[in-house]
Chains A and B, each alone.
Chain A
């Protein structure tokens, strides 16, 4: 059965987006490709013979293995030379290209998206990004400009709070519960909106939400999507923790677990996978599943939208670094393949599930009566509500004193107000939330950290 074409939302584009088009110089290259007899002196490209690299490569763990536990002899070699092989040659990875990226890298991300999400409309497409923060800016600028308002989770990723200020875009926070953004709250805000400019976009992190750790169920996602349809909103689905989904927590955790990790077959389906209209702009990143320093990711959206992001890339970052694309593309095409990549993702799930379990065991053991929290089903964050004594609740400056107490006890968590669009308000600064990340500290340090946290909080609870 044929998939429907996306709904045309280009009427909601900003003026700047309408104007974004192919670079006139880059469009000259199509003449070059069409006619091999044509001598082009049009493009200001350096000659590849001036690139001093003969080969770039890496030694990588086999898919699904931990690099620390892999013997040197078992490491895999991936490499790119000046000659094309499984992927393009260095002449392609290191030369100017367009905002779509090197084809083998781009094709892998496109195929992976098809395998995992199977988008339900016909004209979906992917375009490269440098990671989700830059991708967010590009997605936002498609539809929002000075004077617009973006709907966001009431607690959200701090970088976007800073980003919108110079753009003169306001943030409208939407109430959340243990599963994330509440659809009725989104509907209410949209229905009762009296702002001068209509609402066009909602930004959400539906899996292992930063900072609350909340994960939307499929039913929640359907409800959010229905509200977006009702109010003709574009959804920015920022999903860097998507693959970090686990089995539900059972107390206390045992050692014989992780036989039932979701892999890619049993993940909670994405908003993209529900998207029959083509109103979801999905942001994917390699940061939490390969490494942040690669600065590699991709965006999925209708092609008329990914085209605009391509043109925006071409007047800014161009594409991800060629060295990063070369390593990722040759790893995926030459060694791991999709099957290996999916095995690797299970191993990542195992690592984070284990951390979640150790951490939650210890929280239940040491923090009784001091905090309450929802156990996360995914990701790396735990969002504590500090159970302040009644007389301290909403006392001006109380959470600053709690933070100071944590520092004095040598444990660092993040105060909740930093995740609020209204974080400048004293009222919000005194909301009793703190975020813990269990991704980085050594698990052998967890107990010390949590006992220090208990000591820090005890005087206030």
Chain B
């Protein structure tokens, strides 16, 4: 992974544009909690009888420790044991007494410090006053980010297939998703421009929510050119971009030319730059998570945004989660700051890229082998998802075909995610839907890939009513766009 080092350029960067006109009315006025303001009253020699917080002598933990592996996934052996001590800082990381105490809604200092450094190195945000705030994962961050810009009855632009956790949040917030067309590279900026230009809804479009890398569910990754074009459209229409990017660091190597898995040195393979790295205006709210790059149930991530937006995010945190678990932030901080350091962290990320590449390579090779004439797909260049357009042949027009396929798959012993939970429909798309399955190739054991695909092939064939062809010598057609852009109806709502 290439390192983007920042230089003295940072001090010459512009401030973020003031986009507070896009905030919902409640959040336009800066509202630091008066209670917190009292707690922050700084004076020398003050005795604090204000904070209703427990004394750390009541915390029964003397030490927390973890044994961690060496950064490289392929390497055997352990990097050693990291520990957190009760009263003393450990390396860069606060004492247990501090980690276990009530803290503010921004995150532990050592955790945030590492993430600022890592964000600067990876994205070098092109404006001066950005900051990071700790989160407990992207689903919660999505809900909070949306609530800053959209209230009940508002609309938000989303990809035409999207993450069900986000879509559910929109339902509960009574914010209506407006789908924008995608192709094999993700959001189509021309379609986005057209959608915004012809919008006549009661409230303006202020934000777009998108997953630009290893998209869930389509696996699509936007190229740099595509991202620049999208950013220009967002500027033109004054949109906030919620960049949900949990698979960003799982960008994969090239498919091998031969049957042998090419060993790619991931450290030499640059990452496609993020939307944050293009964000000269400060209109990107970037959501990062440790879920796919450390572990999902750490419930830790971070949000990068202009400082004035983060002040609102802090208020949202303080009226809900407060912060992610201080203990967990401490473990992560100790691991990334000290035990592995940023070099070890980059090594770990590259080893994940290699591991996911190997899985993708095997799965795609087997999918080409077994699904010729039955399904088509674009080879993913990031993440863990293969999005297959199922060719149901003569049965395609039959509304019961997809449920029957899912049933046949289950009976045949294979499961994939059907398209319905991901789909954000508009009238045109609903009328003649293409049908898809999402396969995740991260979790199942690799020796089950072939049986799974064989079973899928049999199930599709049974719905088509045709004999399963001998696919040993066949391959799928050249990867094609699996999603023709669906015409976007003006004022579409779902």
Interface size class of B (residues with CB under 8 A): 35 or more
Find out whether the CB atom of A295 lies under 8 angstroms from the CB atom of B325: yes
Cα distance, A293 to B101, chains bound together (Å): 5
Find out whether the CB atom of B137 lies under 8 angstroms from the CB atom of A41: no
Asked if B294 CB lies within 8 Å of chain A CBs, one says yes
| Given contacts A67-B62, A162-B33, A436-B49, A321 and B415 within 8 Å (CB-CB) | no
Please indicate which of the listed interface residues B66, B152, B169, B421 has the most CB atoms of chain A within 10 Å of its own CB.
Answer: B66
- What chain A residues lie within 8 Å of B327 (beta carbons)? 293-294, 321, 323-324, 327
| Given contacts A52-B348, A94-B295, A294-B325, A316 and B59 within 8 Å (CB-CB) | no
Hey, what's the 0/1 contact readout for B1-15 against A, CB within 8 Å counting as 1? 000000000000000
Beyond A20-B172, A292-B102, 12 extra complex contacts between A and B, CB < 8 Å: A52-B348, A53-B295, A54-B67, A56-B331, A58-B63, A96-B296, A97-B297, A134-B322, A163-B320, A287-B102, A317-B140, A321-B298
- What chain A residues lie within 8 Å of B33 (beta carbons)? 158, 162
Residues of A within 8 A of B (CB): 16, 19-20, 23-25, 28, 31-32, 35, 37-47, 49-61, 66-68, 70, 72, 75, 93-97, 102, 130-131, 133-134, 137, 146, 158-160, 162-163, 165-166, 210, 287-288, 290-296, 314-324, 327, 344, 348, 351, 380-381, 407, 410-415, 418, 423, 435-441, 445, 448-449, 452-453
Asked if B405 CB lies within 8 Å of chain A CBs, one says no
- What chain B residues lie within 8 Å of A448 (beta carbons)? 47
Find out whether the CB atom of B136 lies under 8 angstroms from the CB atom of A414: no
Cα distance, A109 to B158, chains bound together (Å): 39
Cα distance, A411 to B169, chains bound together (Å): 44
Segment of B116-124, B447-455, B483-491 in the binding face: B447-455
- What chain B residues lie within 8 Å of A410 (beta carbons)? 43-47
A12 smallest CB distance to B (angstroms) = 17
Interface residues of B in 311-333 (CB under 8 A from A): 315, 318-328, 331
Find out whether the CB atom of A348 lies under 8 angstroms from the CB atom of B58: yes
B203 smallest CB distance to A (angstroms) = 16
Find out whether the CB atom of B414 lies under 8 angstroms from the CB atom of A39: yes
Hey, what's the 0/1 contact readout for B32-65 against A, CB within 8 Å counting as 1? 0111001001011111111111110111111111
Cα distance, A319 to B328, chains bound together (Å): 13
Find out whether the CB atom of A440 lies under 8 angstroms from the CB atom of B48: yes
Interface residues of B in 187-228 (CB under 8 A from A): 216
Asked if B444 CB lies within 8 Å of chain A CBs, one says yes
- Which 9 pairs of residues, A with B, have the shortest CB-CB distance? A293-B326, A322-B297, A321-B325, A291-B100, A293-B100, A94-B295, A163-B319, A55-B67, A39-B452
- What chain B residues lie within 8 Å of A43 (beta carbons)? 417, 440, 443
Asked if B89 CB lies within 8 Å of chain A CBs, one says no
Find out whether the CB atom of A39 lies under 8 angstroms from the CB atom of B451: yes
| Given contacts A42-B440, A315-B165, A317-B136, A162 and B319 within 8 Å (CB-CB) | yes
Find out whether the CB atom of B47 lies under 8 angstroms from the CB atom of A31: no
Find out whether the CB atom of A67 lies under 8 angstroms from the CB atom of B86: yes
| Given contacts A44-B442, A166-B24, A412-B41, A35 and B413 within 8 Å (CB-CB) | yes
Asked if B69 CB lies within 8 Å of chain A CBs, one says yes
A286 smallest CB distance to B (angstroms) = 10
Find out whether the CB atom of A324 lies under 8 angstroms from the CB atom of B443: no
Hey, what's the 0/1 contact readout for B129-158 against A, CB within 8 Å counting as 1? 000000011011001000100001000000
Residue of A nearest to B66 (CB): A56
